Homo-oligomer: A and B are copies of this chain.
Amino acid sequence: MKIGSQAHHSSAISTSNETTILIRGRDLTQELMGRIDFTEHFWLLLTGALPTVPQRRILDSTLVAIAEHGLVPSVQAARMTLAAAPEALQGAVAAGILGCGSVVLGSSEAAGYFLSAIATRIDTGISVEQAAKAVVLEYRAERRSIPGYGHPLHKDFDPRVWRLFDVAKENGGVGLHVEIARQVELLLPDLLGKPLTLNVSGAIPAVLLDAGYPLRALKGVPILARTAGLIAHLLEEQLRPIGFVLSHAAAAATEYDGEMPPGFRGTP
C-alpha cells in the first residue's frame, strides 16, 4: 500500500562497498576518523560540509549548555526505566529522549521557528521591532505561548543565555536571530503585561541560526546533547542505583482521591 508522497527514492548521506564507507562523499576511515571531532562530524552529517571553526565552537557551546541539568524529568524517566529493565540501556535512553518535547527540553525547535518567522517578515522590509511585534501578537491571537522565554528556576536571567551570546560574539557569530531574540525580550513586558526572560532554549536557536545551522535540525541539538547526559546518569544508575528511590518518593508525594470501600486503608 502506497502511503504519502513517494517522489523521492534516494539519500545523500552515506553509501559503502566492501572496503570503503563514504559519508557525505568523504572516505570515513581516510578522511574523517582521527581527523575531525564528533561535533564536526555531526555538522558534516547534517549539512554535507565541514563547519568553520566559529560554527564548530558555537555548536559545541550549545551542546555543552543543554546536555545536563540534574535530575530533570527526562533523566528520571531514563533512570526508572533502567532500574526496571536493565537488559536494555537503549530503552532507558529512548525513554529519556521521549521527554525532549515541546514543553521541556525540546522547545529550541519551536523557538527557532518563531525567530525564523520574524526574520522572514523582516525580509519584506519592515524593522526588527515591527516584525517581532507582529509575530508575537499573532502567536497570542492563536493562544500559543512564546517559545524560548521564561524558566522555572532561572527566572531573572538564565546564565547560559549570556554565555552563549558571548561565545557567539567571540566567534563573529552574532547576527539577525540574536538581535531578534533580544528585541522580543524587550517587547514582551508591554505585549504580555509581564516580563519573561530569554531562556537557553531561545538562545540556542538564535546563535545556531546565525551560524548557519539548519532550522529543521534544531531539535537535534537538545536531543543529541541530552543523550550524553542520559548516558552519564545511566552509568551512575548502574553503580549507585536511585531509580526506585525516585519513583518511591514521587508516589509518596501524591494521594489517591478516587473511590474507596468503607474502612479501606492504603499502604504508604
Contacts and interface: CB of A to CB of B under 8 A. Distances in A.
Interface of A: 1-30, 32-34, 36-39, 41-42, 45-46, 48, 56-57, 59-61, 63-65, 67-74, 76-77, 80-81, 83-95, 97-106, 109, 152-157, 159-160, 162-164, 166-167, 170, 214, 216-217, 219-220, 223-225, 227-229, 231-236, 238-261, 264-267
A151 to B, nearest CB: 9
A228 B258 CA distance: 18
Contact of A81 (B22, B73, B228, B240): B73
A13 B255 CA distance: 11
A45 B70 contact: no
A73 B80 contact: yes
B216 A239 contact: yes
Nearest to A142: B142
B254 A3 contact: no
Number of copies: 4
B70 A13 contact: yes
A65 B33 CA distance: 6
B1 A251 contact: yes
A235 B248 contact: no
A15 B70 contact: yes
A258 B91 contact: no
Contacts of A251: 1, 70-72, 76, 246
5 contacts: A13-B68, A28-B159, A71-B251, A214-B235, A220-B234
| Most-contacted residue by chain B among A73, A152, A244 (CB, 10 A) | A73
A181 to B, nearest CB: 17
B76 A100 contact: no
A168 B250 CA distance: 36
A231 B223 contact: yes
A18 B159 CA distance: 9
Contacts of A5: 241, 244
A25 B84 contact: no
A91 B98 contact: yes
Contact of A65 (B28, B229, B258): B28
A251 B235 CA distance: 18
B72 A99 contact: no
